[in-house]
Structure 1
Amino acid sequence: MITIIGFIAAVLTTASFLPQAIKTIKTKDTSGISLIMYILFSAGVFLWLLYGIFIHDFAVISANSVTFVFASISLFYKIKSPRS
């Protein structure tokens, strides 16, 4: 039961970044995104990913791998964008 809760939480929190990543890719507009927030968030997600790897927790690894990709896409466009 605990594992199921972990996977549901992982799916929900990971899926929450998909709309932002899609919107950022389509519009290239990152004016509404905080650079500091995305830097801190991406670093935190990366550390959660490392933590999951160290403790061999597939739910933590999978969720944070995907979330890191989504957050990194938005962060990449934010840094690259001249109208940030």
Structure 2
Amino acid sequence: MQVFNIDYIEIIGLTAAVLTTSAFLPQVYKTWKTKDVSALSLPMLLIFFIGIVFWLVYGILEKSLSMILANTITIMSSFLLLYFKIKYGKRQ
């Protein structure tokens, strides 16, 4: 039983997953280091987080490795930004 179908389409998806997910990580790092969350919108972060959860569920249902990997990492990153926004936003 084949769980994931790795073909050229999935390789394109994996490439896109690496690029888009890694593009998000500098913001998480910068926010962690500076603790400046003033430019982050809480409603946007919440909507984004919920959307990524749905993308992850979709990726699991479609058995798409690229969607599962990218959205799992992005969920963790966006959760960190939500956490930082709530924790450090009270200081401002």
Report the TM-score when normalising by structure 2.
0.85
Amino acid at match of 1:42: F
Q: How many residues align?
A: 84
Q: Does 1:16 align with 2:30?
A: no
Q: Deviations over 1:1-51 (max 9, x none)?
A: 212211111111101110010011111110011111111001101110111
Distance in 2 of aligned mates of 1:49 and 1:6: 14
Identity of aligned residues (%): 48
Structure 1: gaps (5+ residues): none
Q: Deviations over 1:38-83 (max 9, x none)?
A: 1100110111011111221111000000011111101111012214
Q: Which has the larger radius of gyration?
A: 2
Amino acid at match of 2:27: Q
Q: Does 1:76 align with 2:83?
A: yes
Q: Secondary structure at the match of 1:33?
A: coil
Structure 2: gaps (5+ residues): 1-7
Contact 2:21 2:73 in 1 (8 A): yes
Q: Secondary structure at the match of 2:76?
A: helix
The residue aligned with 1:40 is 47
Q: Secondary structure at the match of 2:39?
A: coil
Distance in 2 of aligned mates of 1:83 and 1:5: 43
The Cα RMSD (Å) is: 1.2
> After TM superposition, where is structure 1 displaced by more than 3 Å over at least 4 residues in a row?
none
Q: Secondary structure at the match of 2:69?
A: helix
